[in-house]
Amino acid sequence: MGKRLAKKVLLIGWDAADWKIINPLMDNGQMPALESLVNNGVMGNLATLDPPMSPMLWTSIATGKHADKHGILNFTEPSPQSAGIRPVSVSSRKVKAIWNILTQENYKTHVVGWWPSHPAEPINGTCVSNFYQRAHAPIDKPWPMRPGTVHPKAKEKLFDQLRVHPQELTAAHILPFVPDAAKIDQEKDKRLESLAKIIADCSSIHSAATWILENEEWDFMAVYYDAIDHFCHGFMNFHPPRMPHVPEDLFELYKGVVTGGYLFHDMMLSRLLQLAGDDVTVILVSDHGFHSDHLRPLSIPKEPAGPAWQHRPYGVVCMKGPNIQQDERIYGANLLDITPTLLTLFGLPIGNDMDGKPLVQSFDKLVEPEYIPTWEKVKGECGMLPENVQQDPYAEQEAMEQLIALGYVEKPGDDQQKAIEQTLNESQFYLARVYMNKNLYHEALPVLEKLYEKHSDQTRFAFHLAKCYQVLGKNISARKVIEKVIADKEKYSPQFDLLLGSLALADKDYQTALELLLKAEKAQPRLPLLHQQIGQTYLKMGKLEYAERAYTKALEIDPDSHIAHDGIAIVCLRQRRNEEAASFALNAIGLIYHYPIAHYHLGLALTRLEMYERAAEAFEVSAVIVPGFKSAHRMLKYLYQRKLNMSDKAAKHQVILDEINAKQAEKFL
């Protein structure tokens, strides 16, 4: 066992929290609790995963694994009891969460509200499930908690009383968010009702979490608040600056709700920090961000999980405590890294089957994490649910209604069989996207082909299938799929011009590519990834100034585009602007650490700047991320042989190059 770096760890989840909103509020002194956390610890972006669906993402945070391994693929799942569908439950999770591992290691562990966590798992501590906060009846009628909400059962009555009902709230709770609430005709406009529900729900979660912190022994506690995501889905369109399609009167009424939601969370955070004490390690994370500026979509696509289009690919991470650096920024974190980091803090080994890495750059000393093959085969009571745990169909129905209200799930209708089929299709579609996110296009392809065969009318299936074909070099198949969709739909979509443009680019037909991309630009100038693609086309055509202009435009639209930063790095390299090239490549790496080509470009820039050791480090990283990255090994051999006088390392890379060459020859033959 390694050295334990943390005495106790408090993990706080704020769904959809985003630095873009937080930073100006902290700068104005309006979020003092979070500011103290940031100033006394480290902070950074937390890159999300695709698809950005919260139950999948929060399970990746808690397991360190992608969804193809952990099994939570969707908002819903077929219900064995009611022969219909139900909200996704913890029984679908196939692997241990951090609290199971810590239970197994005899740590006192509590979990509140994690998504999904129903039915509550029998861990070594208290588990309050994500069904806890739902008020399913008016306040003057009984609204008991559903069976399985709390472990241990003996504490059910206690936690039942800690819940806050939306109808308990008064003007004192609503007016800070909507000062002119009195002007609203609540018969017609139900937004105040939703607002009260969000405030009450997160107050219930907070109440349970604070009770545990005040009254229970603990080593680890995880608490998840979904309210920022709900404030944002309900009210982000009213957030300043006013969007052109939002009426002035509604804007004036609701413009303070999102900001109010963040400030309320800061107040709750203040209490958590106060109860946790100074010697505790605190980690605050979000699963994704939320577009709050000109990138807010004007409309939400009418498709399952359509609201996820409002999500931004970067969430937040900040961490403070013993052995953590102070007032530092960390780069390259993603949400798979949280569980490996937690294990390292407890001095426990990381499973080699985990997809993340510990955030060792956060520590104030050199820490070398330990590894074991997997935690899944480590024996001992870990507090996971026994198989075939029954659930309450009524509770399932209420949770379903909330997902429908949020727009994440379509109303199933009377045809249960159809609802089940749709859920299974969605889960398969998300699984394919998980594979694509992991660069496992060969695994994604059969899943998408099957979906497309059954539902060729679904544009999103066709689009992803075509993309998959394209990456695998099957351009003819890709083109066939797109052309069929365009013909079927009789409807122009710039998305398809973008894809056809990329195919032409892959075929080295640069002129056609450019024409298609510029056509797409005319139709939808702010289409995601469009300007990056235009930049790449100009790069291929050797028109460096045009390429830089396109990438700069991409950055104006989205300053966090790692592709655009790296694109400018390439332009700079070609123009021998080496310092700038290094700087842009570093920007790209800061946004997405697992972006091998940016490490490679950084290595090239540093080599030209005669910073050979650092250049070798950059090439090494790119070669680790992409095994068999020939150009990187070639540069490494050159640097070790000619510049760093390390002939043993040069020889190692020569061996790798020989292997790559042999494989290529074999393939050719």
Partner 1 sequence: MEKENQITPESIIPNVENRSFDSFESFYKSIPYEGSLGILALGAMGVMAWRKKRAEMDDKKSHEES
- Interface positions with partner 1 (CB under 8 A): 29-32, 161-162, 164, 169-173, 175-177, 179, 199, 203, 206-211, 214, 260, 263-264, 266-268, 270-271, 274-275
Separation in Å, CA 359 to CA 34, 44, 651: 20, 11, 31
The amino acid present at 26, given as its one-letter code, is M
Measured from the CB of residue 201, what is the shortest distance to partner 1 in angstroms?
A: 11
The smaller minimum CB distance to partner 1, of residues 131 and 211, is found at: 211
Q: Of how many residues is the chain composed?
A: 669
The smaller minimum CB distance to partner 1, of residues 268 and 639, is found at: 268
The smaller minimum CB distance to partner 1, of residues 39 and 664, is found at: 39
Strand ranges in 1-57 using DSSP code E only, listed in sequence order: 9-14, 41-47
Structure-token pair, residue 296: 């807010």
The smaller minimum CB distance to partner 1, of residues 165 and 433, is found at: 165
Angle at 267 between CA 261 and CA 270, to 5 degrees: 140
Q: Are strands 109-112 and 220-225 parallel, antiparallel or unpaired?
A: parallel
Measured from the CB of residue 26, what is the shortest distance to partner 1 in angstroms?
A: 11
The smaller minimum CB distance to partner 1, of residues 161 and 388, is found at: 161
C-alpha torsion sign, points 408, 412, 416, 419:
negative
The smaller minimum CB distance to partner 1, of residues 32 and 247, is found at: 32
Classify 378 as helix, strand or coil. Answer: coil
Q: 84: which residues sit within 8 A by CB, 6+ positions away?
A: 78, 412, 416, 419, 420
Measured from the CB of residue 240, what is the shortest distance to partner 1 in angstroms?
A: 15
Angle at 355 between CA 354 and CA 360, to 5 degrees: 90
Measured from the CB of residue 149, what is the shortest distance to partner 1 in angstroms?
A: 16
Classify 509 as helix, strand or coil. Answer: coil
| Contacts of 644-653 spanning 24+ positions with Cβ under 8 A | 644/612, 644/613, 644/616
The smaller minimum CB distance to partner 1, of residues 263 and 609, is found at: 263
Strand ranges in 73-203 using DSSP code E only, listed in sequence order: 76-78, 85-87, 109-112, 127-128, 150-151
Q: Are 594 and 625 in contact (CB under 8 A)?
A: yes
The smaller minimum CB distance to partner 1, of residues 37 and 632, is found at: 37
The smaller minimum CB distance to partner 1, of residues 266 and 355, is found at: 266
Q: 545: which residues sit within 8 A by CB, 6+ positions away?
A: none
Measured from the CB of residue 209, what is the shortest distance to partner 1 in angstroms?
A: 7
Q: Are 601 and 570 in contact (CB under 8 A)?
A: yes
Number of C-beta neighbours around residue 240 at 10 A? 12
What is the C-alpha separation between 108 and 123, in angstroms, rounded? 9
Measured from the CB of residue 145, what is the shortest distance to partner 1 in angstroms?
A: 15
Measured from the CB of residue 200, what is the shortest distance to partner 1 in angstroms?
A: 9
SS3 content of the chain, % helix, strand, coil (to 5): 55, 10, 35
Measured from the CB of residue 272, what is the shortest distance to partner 1 in angstroms?
A: 8
DSSP code for 58: H
Measured from the CB of residue 347, what is the shortest distance to partner 1 in angstroms?
A: 30
Measured from the CB of residue 115, what is the shortest distance to partner 1 in angstroms?
A: 20
Run of H or E including 247: none
R_g (Cα) of the chain, nearest Å: 26
Measured from the CB of residue 199, what is the shortest distance to partner 1 in angstroms?
A: 7
Measured from the CB of residue 273, what is the shortest distance to partner 1 in angstroms?
A: 11
The smaller minimum CB distance to partner 1, of residues 257 and 547, is found at: 257
The smaller minimum CB distance to partner 1, of residues 142 and 627, is found at: 142
What is the C-alpha separation between 498 and 241, in angstroms, rounded? 30
Measured from the CB of residue 172, what is the shortest distance to partner 1 in angstroms?
A: 4
Q: Are 263 and 26 in contact (CB under 8 A)?
A: no
In terms of C-beta density within 10 A (0-12 exposed, 13-18 middle, 19 or more buried), how is residue 106 classed? exposed
Of the candidates 89, 147, 68, the one whose C-alpha atom is nearest the C-alpha of residue 384 is: 89
The smaller minimum CB distance to partner 1, of residues 96 and 206, is found at: 206
The smaller minimum CB distance to partner 1, of residues 161 and 645, is found at: 161
Kindly provide the b/e burial profile for residues 470-481, where b requires at least 16 CB atoms within 10 angstroms of the residue's own CB.
bbeebbebbbeb
